[in-house]
Amino acid sequence: MNSCYNTKKGFTLIELMIVLVIIGVLLALLYPALQNTIEGAHQQRCANNIREIGAAMILYAKDNNGMFPNEETAGKNFAQILVDDGYLPNDDSLFDCPSNPAIGTVANPDYTYLNTDAANPYTIYTSDREVILHCTGNCHSGGENLLNVAGRVYWERNAGYE
């Protein structure tokens, strides 16, 4: 019998430990990229929700002499106005920003409506620089999605964020 051949089968403990360390290092390198990808997907879903709400608001305004929903007059929030008047489906997920830990609903949306000045409400003729809707709080890392009066959704970085 030739002693040059190793007849032992399997791996040694050292070999298994080296493989586990290499896998751990690779996972540690990939984790930040995975987190950025997940946040990017949440940010995009939030932007799509705001875009759909914005389209409904513009349709509402065109049917109501250019006026956006008025929460004070109606006695309910903008989401309930749009759902009750048939401009949006009664779907809570539409008013839920996936990056916000609170669950948004029609009754309590994750988006802040800025058309609250009863004396000078926004209309479709207001300057398109005016923001009418945005994410509530600081739910996205580094910025937030905004909706202007013209229906454009855009991302804006928070001041001081690099």
Give the chain's residues under pLDDT 70.
1-8, 137-138, 159-162
pLDDT reported for residue 56:
95
User: What SS3 class is residue 24?
Assistant: helix
Tell me how many domains the chain contains: 1
Give the integer Cα–Cα distance in Å for 140 and 40.
9
Give the integer Cα–Cα distance in Å for 153 and 159.
19
Are the CB atoms for 21 and 29 separated by under 8 Å? no
pLDDT tens-place string over residues 49-79: 999 999 999 999 999 999 999 888 778 999 9
Whether 87 is covered by a domain: the verdict is yes
pLDDT reported for residue 116:
81
Whether 69 is covered by a domain: the verdict is yes
- The one-letter code for the residue type at 23 is I
Whether 124 is covered by a domain: the verdict is yes
Whether 125 is covered by a domain: the verdict is yes
What is the extent of the structural domain holding 53?
13-157
Whether 37 is covered by a domain: the verdict is yes
Whether 3 is covered by a domain: the verdict is no
Whether 29 is covered by a domain: the verdict is yes
Give the integer Cα–Cα distance in Å for 80 and 57.
12
